[in-house]
Amino acid sequence: MYKIVSIPGDGIGPEVVAGAVSVLEQLSKKHCFEIEIEEHPFGGASYDLHGEMLTLATLEACKNCDAVLLGAVGGPKWEKLPHEHKPEAALLKIRKELELFANLRPAKVYDALLGASSLKADVVRGTDFLVFRELTGGIYFGHPRGFDENKGWNTMVYERYEVERIARLAFEAARKRDKKVISIDKANVLEVSQFWRNVVHEVHKDFPDIVLSDMYVDNAAMQIVRNPKQFDVIVTSNLFGDILSDIAGMITGSLGMLPSASIGKKHALYEPIHGSAPDIAGQNKANPIATIASVAMMFDYSFSLPGIATEIYQAIEATLASGLRTADIANPGENTVSTTVMTEAIVRHLGA
């Protein structure tokens, strides 16, 4: 039996997580395994109920399950709260508490969606790369930090073990792909980036079958939109990974298409990379594919069932090939379908 904690969160989170739960239920019937899904509030939804974004009960549940499924967090309703009480702070906290040090973000362009990309079809066709973003170190967590009336300051710090473990994961993943890793840094300007580069190259000695190259982050941003097919596995720091994975999201057609996995030694959390989209929340318009694809990553990385992950990706591909589009991936003039219709179609293809 697989025990999954669902934390739908805010905005469109409950809608897209409901779609992912439908997929999980279909798979459990098809493959005759049991799943237990336990739902808990998180983010603004939790604050409205309990006065805090992340309760101890939710955190403990996340620590005592096989995988966590997150929808989205945040919205205008909670923006005026003190920084340490905002939904985004709760997201950083849960990552830290679960020791989720690696964020995996695939950037895959489906053939059926070549026209949805902001880039030319011949540029993005065949794009399929994986970003490993370090998640618990770097400038988001470094000290000292703060601001006064005249200046603001943050500190970007990396310990050796933080770089080693994310680099090792990236090299291991590359062995199952095209055996190429590009490490992204800013070593020509930042000492912390030179340290990052040195450690990555030391770890690479244990993976002589993998081709390693380095790229400055500004060049990487340009290269992702110039020739995304050149990338296979990217490994980079927290800040750079945050920016580059969003760039990658746009070339695939929509952030609504991109899943992610945040992995640690004991725990793993799966979520779409998009936000809570409060402008369409509750309207049954959200694209559930990123959340459903996050379930595919769950089966691959947490449950070691890559075959089921492949089934999910194939069901998504077949659904898109049939012409169904939510508003975010539709071309002008195309008919669009709701969150539930898109989900139902994917579930049907899974059952076929």
> Which tens digits make up the pLDDT trace of 110-129?
888 888 788 999 999 999 99
Instruction: Flag whether 293 is in a domain.
Output: yes
pLDDT at 321 exceeding the cut of 90: yes
Query: Which of 66, 178, 214, 246 is an active site residue?
Result: 246
Position 294 scores a pLDDT of 97
Please tell me whether residues 197 and 333 are part of one structural domain. Answer: no
Position 116 scores a pLDDT of 79
Position 66 scores a pLDDT of 97
140 is catalytic: yes
Query: Which of 48, 111, 206, 218 is an active site residue?
Result: 218
Please tell me whether residues 122 and 233 are part of one structural domain. Answer: yes
Q: Kindly report, residue by residue over 53-68, the tens digit of the pLDDT.
A: 999 999 999 999 999 9
186 is catalytic: yes
Query: Which of 2, 10, 158, 186 is an active site residue?
Result: 186
pLDDT at 251 exceeding the cut of 90: no
Query: Which of 47, 110, 140, 270 is an active site residue?
Result: 140
Please tell me whether residues 198 and 271 are part of one structural domain. Answer: no
Contact 118, 276 (CB under 8 A): no
Q: How confident is the model over 3-25, as a mean pLDDT?
A: 97
Range of the domain at 150: 109-254
Instruction: Flag whether 259 is in a domain.
Output: no
**Structural domain ending residue among the three candidates 254, 280, 309:** 254
pLDDT at 24 exceeding the cut of 90: yes
Q: How confident is the model over 234-252, as a mean pLDDT?
A: 90
Residue with tokens 């805090």: 52
* Pure H helices in 64-159: 87-97, 121-124
Position 256 scores a pLDDT of 82
Q: Kindly report, residue by residue over 168-219, the tens digit of the pLDDT.
A: 999 999 998 999 999 999 999 999 999 999 999 999 999 999 999 999 999 9
- Cα 288 to Cα 11, 12, 300, 329: the distances in Å are 13, 9, 19, 12
205 is catalytic: no
**Structural domain ending residue among the three candidates 221, 254, 287:** 254
Q: How confident is the model over 122-142, as a mean pLDDT?
A: 93
CA 211 to chain centre: 25
Instruction: Flag whether 41 is in a domain.
Output: yes
Please tell me whether residues 33 and 72 are part of one structural domain. Answer: yes
Structure tokens belonging to residue 263: 């992995």
pLDDT at 249 exceeding the cut of 80: no
Query: Which of 10, 185, 232, 242 is an active site residue?
Result: 242
Please tell me whether residues 118 and 196 are part of one structural domain. Answer: yes
**Structural domain ending residue among the three candidates 194, 223, 254:** 254
| Helix axes of 339-351 and 289-301: crossing angle, nearest 10 degrees | 40
Contact 69, 270 (CB under 8 A): yes
pTM for the full predicted model: 0.88
